Chain A
Amino acid sequence: MVDSNGLSIHDRPNSYIGRSVPRPNLSRLLKGRGSYADDVKLPRMVHVAFLRSPLAHADIVKIETDKASSASGVIAVYNGKDLAKVCSPWVGVVTHLEGMRSPPQNLLAVDRVRWQGEPVVAVVAQTRALAEDAIELIEVKYKELPLAVDMKTALDDDTEVIHKEYENNLCWERNVNAGDVDAAFAEADVIVEEEFQFGRHTGVTLESRSIVADYDPGEEMLTLYQSTQAPHMKQALFAKHLELDEHKIRIICRDVGGAFGLKAHAYGDEFATAAISKILGRPVKFVADRMESFLADIHARDHVVKGKIGVSKAGKILAIEIDDLTGIGPYSVYPRSSGMEVNQICNLTGGPYKFDNYRARGRVVFQNKPPMCQYRAVGHPIAITVTEGLVEMAASAIDMESIEMRKLNMVADDDYPNKTVSGIPLENLSHQASTDKLMEMVNYKEIRDEQKKLRKEGIYRGVGFAALIEVTNPGPAFYGVGGAPISAQDGCSVKLDAKGNLIVGTSITEQGQGAESVISQVVATAVGITPDKIKVISGDTENTPYGGGTWASRGTGIGGEAAAKAGKVIRDNVLDVAGILLQSEPNTLDIQNNQVVNKSDGAERMSVAEISRVVYYRGDTLPKDFQAEMMAVQHYFPKSYPFAFTNSVHCCHLEVDVNTGFIKLLKHWAVEDCGTVINPQNVDDQVRGGVVQGIGGALYEECIYNEQGQLLNGNLADYLVPMAVELPDIVVGHVESKTFESDLGAKGAGEAGTAGAPAAIMNALNDALMPFDVRLTRQPFTPQKVLEALGKL
């Protein structure tokens, strides 16, 4: 959106774009004044707790709840059949992932349980503790069934088929075939193959999933205080399955204690809470405790990928082939589906590089484990680890510096727009500039010299790289075309109050990333009002425009652009009034620091607050044929490209203790190109936080299951997450290649850290262990796996 004089938002005076303004909502959180769903306390509120299946696959023979029903403080007890009468089952399939299938899923198990942790009975009581006491009094008789736990055997003929309506445990398969892969491999001087594994881990948001459902039978109105990332999506889903009018559902999510994708899905226990509130006509609270979070939150990753790369002697990539298998639990998760990760892996593998021949097969299988679905950087860590692992091995095979091989094969910065080998359009990326910048930041030669020296002393250090592309700013092609009620557009409302302040409503949500800060900075810049006079409202379906929310690195790029557009309308509208009052042409005026000024010399003419006063209180002084409009709503979604791809390149430096197998991260560097940077400090911390989640998956985090489908480490003491002491300082650099789709030019920045870190760590680890001629490719890289590789265990 460029002015008549050719200026865009980047030419605004006193711009807040590119400035590390402190986040306006952080002060409140620092004083313990946050308002999370569990902080909500309503009159007559009761609490629900769930009896969850102790078995991974069994028929429910009998549920005996009489003792629980008469226990102290208990108000009601419901089983799956009871709640199925109030809330219809759902199917977690999106139609654009052709051929995908998944059966209807009930809120609570009906007749059969299919994973350990599946909710079976809901107990409502005066307090959570009393509800849990009553759960102890419930007797469920199960008949155990054969299991399909291991995804590797899930498709075997003799494996139990989980859903009797299907002939096997396949949920979905995707195949990609570009160029002539067989001919290219035949032509290749060197072919390298490897199998990569990615452990099953989970989100572990510090604030667990939480909801307070408050149904008012008088108004037939359901108000939900929910920790979620997508309020309007949730509104649509609750309306559909509880058979309520959509406009009589209000989702309020004020503070959300971390989300990372896991709060963008439908969960049976949360819908059960709403269903129970509808039955009882009073508020009901459910907050997942940590133990049940491990069993009931979506899990992530869990892939095994066979990869193959063919290169020429000179280092040109000729072909890549992958075969990915993932286990997603017994159901594809509603409404986004559990096929997206495989879809992404098929799309993203080989992403930074120019080559013509690519074959991918991705298979998604059902198994008796908790449902797996989208978690930060969906598919990226897998595609990138496979690609960059293969590139590293190929470079080693032809005795070339891997960073040189990457540079040789990268799509050139002046060769955009372009397409990936699988046909995904790429608008404007900067692999070369980003890699050059990274190499300026990393003291590579010194690290190599030191590595040589230290090896002689028995100290093994390694350095590894990873280049990547990342999907951000998804349009309707992501979910909407597949029939899911997930908006790809976002909106922003800007209202000038009677004192010259701005009340801004955004449909993107805040989970700590700084969404409200971004919106505030963009509106401040677009209008010419200082951020201290701007109040941003998010996370309330009744008080914000309709939109998608915050996921898939879309908030800034899509919601931010809507804010820029709405701000511009308000500026124009204010200047129309100013033109009348000042008897000047509006296009000779501007707004800076809350004042209407001359564009020519910046001289202050009148305050915006004075315009507010006149408009709201003294409209009689304005011409009769003029009506001032001091509120504007604008919406936006990207139209030319289905996604805005970003790029990033990482470097990891680490040390391996070959006696204990412990890996110490020494330093991590990441150069990120997310287009326009609105708040540099926020973006850097998004990258850092993302890198640390990538470190978690690469080194520590894994949901460990036995053959019976029992989680062995489902608590925060046994499931390891990265803590401060294990982590290095993380150095972040930027290149800014704007997307030309929007005036703002911003792409997403939330996921590239998680996307790239595991691959860089794996390559650094294998570099460190080069003298021992071993290679580790199964994440997480625990001390045990290191010692096993070294033959010491």
Chain B
Amino acid sequence: MSKFVQVTTTVNGENVSRSVEPRTNLVDFVRYDLELTGSHVGCEHGVCGACTIRLNGEIVRGCLVLAAQADGGVVETIEGLSESGKISDLQDSFLTRNAGQCGSCTPGMLLTADSLLEENKAPTRTEIREYISGNYCRCTGFEAIVDAIEMTSKKRRGGS
């Protein structure tokens, strides 16, 4: 058995092919092999959500998915979603509402928030709190994040 596996995938729209150790998880792959350091590592056991990455359109925990599982797939990280402008309204709301402090949870939180707003155009504050309850933030106390997601939802629906 080869010590390495070949992973060929599309990352933020670019074709990428790398030889990695089979045990390499997706977040280590994007951070250390591809130098996309916007995805963070917080617990490495699937609890904190800092490593949230989009794989084939769904958000996943980058620490619980192997890089090899992304072979042939489509990977999107905070860098790609920022450059494409897809989540610029969420980012604007987070900036205006000071919904990130140290920034560790922020990329994962934005991806989770974006996923929520795709699934539910008009979430209540309770629904927002439930949806982001797998993303740990030590700084904000979460209220600013809930406010920013709510603001974005209202804007997307044409409100002020």
> A residues engaging B (CB < 8 A)?
20, 22-23, 26-27, 29-36, 38-39, 41, 129, 203-208, 255-260, 289-290, 511-514, 681-682, 685, 688-693, 715-717, 721, 723-725, 727, 729-730, 753
B29 CB to nearest A CB, Å: 12
A26-B100 in contact (CB<8A): yes
Residues of A within 8 Å of B35, CB to CB, are 41
Residues of A within 8 Å of B146, CB to CB, are 724
Residues of A within 8 Å of B130, CB to CB, are 724-725
> B residues engaging A (CB < 8 A)?
21, 23, 31-32, 35-48, 50, 77-79, 82, 91, 94-98, 100-107, 110, 125, 128-130, 132-146
B67 CB to nearest A CB, Å: 13
B140-A685 in contact (CB<8A): yes
B150 CB to nearest A CB, Å: 11
A258-B139 in contact (CB<8A): yes
Top 4 A-B residue pairs of the complex, sorted by shortest distance between their CB atoms? A32-B38, A29-B103, A512-B101, A512-B102
A724-B78 in contact (CB<8A): no
Additional A-B contact list (11), CB under 8 Å, known A715-B47, A716-B47 = A29-B100, A29-B106, A32-B78, A32-B82, A255-B103, A257-B40, A685-B140, A689-B138, A723-B134, A725-B129, A725-B133
**Closest chain A residue to B42 by CB distance?**
A206
Residues of B within 8 Å of A35, CB to CB, are 37
Residues of A within 8 Å of B50, CB to CB, are 206
A255-B102 in contact (CB<8A): yes
Residues of B within 8 Å of A256, CB to CB, are 102
Per the bound structure, the CA–CA distance linking A514 and B128 in Å amounts to 25
Residues of A within 8 Å of B45, CB to CB, are 290, 715-717
Decide yes or no: A290 and B102 within 8 Å by CB, A22-B96, A723-B136 being known contacts. no
Q: What are 30 A-B residue pairs whose CB atoms fall within 8 Å in the complex?
A: A22-B98, A26-B94, A27-B91, A30-B94, A32-B37, A36-B40, A205-B102, A206-B137, A207-B42, A257-B40, A258-B138, A260-B138, A512-B101, A681-B97, A685-B101, A688-B140, A689-B141, A690-B141, A691-B141, A692-B141, A692-B142, A715-B43, A716-B43, A723-B133, A723-B134, A724-B128, A724-B133, A724-B135, A724-B146, A727-B143
Residues of B within 8 Å of A514, CB to CB, are 98, 101
Interface of B is mostly: loop
B104-A257 in contact (CB<8A): yes
Per the bound structure, the CA–CA distance linking A511 and B104 in Å amounts to 10
Question: Which of B41, B95, B102 gathers most chain A CB within 10 Å?
Answer: B102
B20 CB to nearest A CB, Å: 11
Residues of A within 8 Å of B46, CB to CB, are 717
Question: Which of A39, A207, A260 gathers most chain B CB within 10 Å?
Answer: A207
B23 CB to nearest A CB, Å: 7
Residues of B within 8 Å of A20, CB to CB, are 98
Decide yes or no: A724 and B132 within 8 Å by CB, A257-B102, A290-B42 being known contacts. yes
Residues of A within 8 Å of B37, CB to CB, are 32, 34-36, 38-39
**Closest chain A residue to B48 by CB distance?**
A716
B138-A721 in contact (CB<8A): yes
B95-A27 in contact (CB<8A): yes
Per the bound structure, the CA–CA distance linking A27 and B93 in Å amounts to 11
**Closest chain B residue to A34 by CB distance?**
B103
Residues of A within 8 Å of B101, CB to CB, are 258, 511-514, 685, 689
Residues of B within 8 Å of A693, CB to CB, are 138
A129, A690, A692: the one within 8 Å of B21 (CB)? A129
Per the bound structure, the CA–CA distance linking A685 and B137 in Å amounts to 13
Residues of B within 8 Å of A36, CB to CB, are 37, 40, 104
Residues of A within 8 Å of B36, CB to CB, are 32
Per the bound structure, the CA–CA distance linking A36 and B107 in Å amounts to 13
Residues of A within 8 Å of B129, CB to CB, are 724-725, 727
B23-A26 in contact (CB<8A): no
Residues of B within 8 Å of A685, CB to CB, are 98, 101, 140-141, 143-144
B39, B44, B138: the one within 8 Å of A206 (CB)? B138
B16 CB to nearest A CB, Å: 17
A551 CB to nearest B CB, Å: 15
**Closest chain A residue to B41 by CB distance?**
A38
Residues of A within 8 Å of B103, CB to CB, are 26, 29-30, 34, 255, 257, 512
A258-B104 in contact (CB<8A): yes
Question: Which of A27, A32, A716, A730 gathers most chain B CB within 10 Å?
Answer: A32
**Closest chain B residue to A688 by CB distance?**
B141
Per the bound structure, the CA–CA distance linking A753 and B136 in Å amounts to 19
Residues of A within 8 Å of B143, CB to CB, are 685, 688, 727, 729-730
**Closest chain A residue to B78 by CB distance?**
A32
B39 CB to nearest A CB, Å: 7
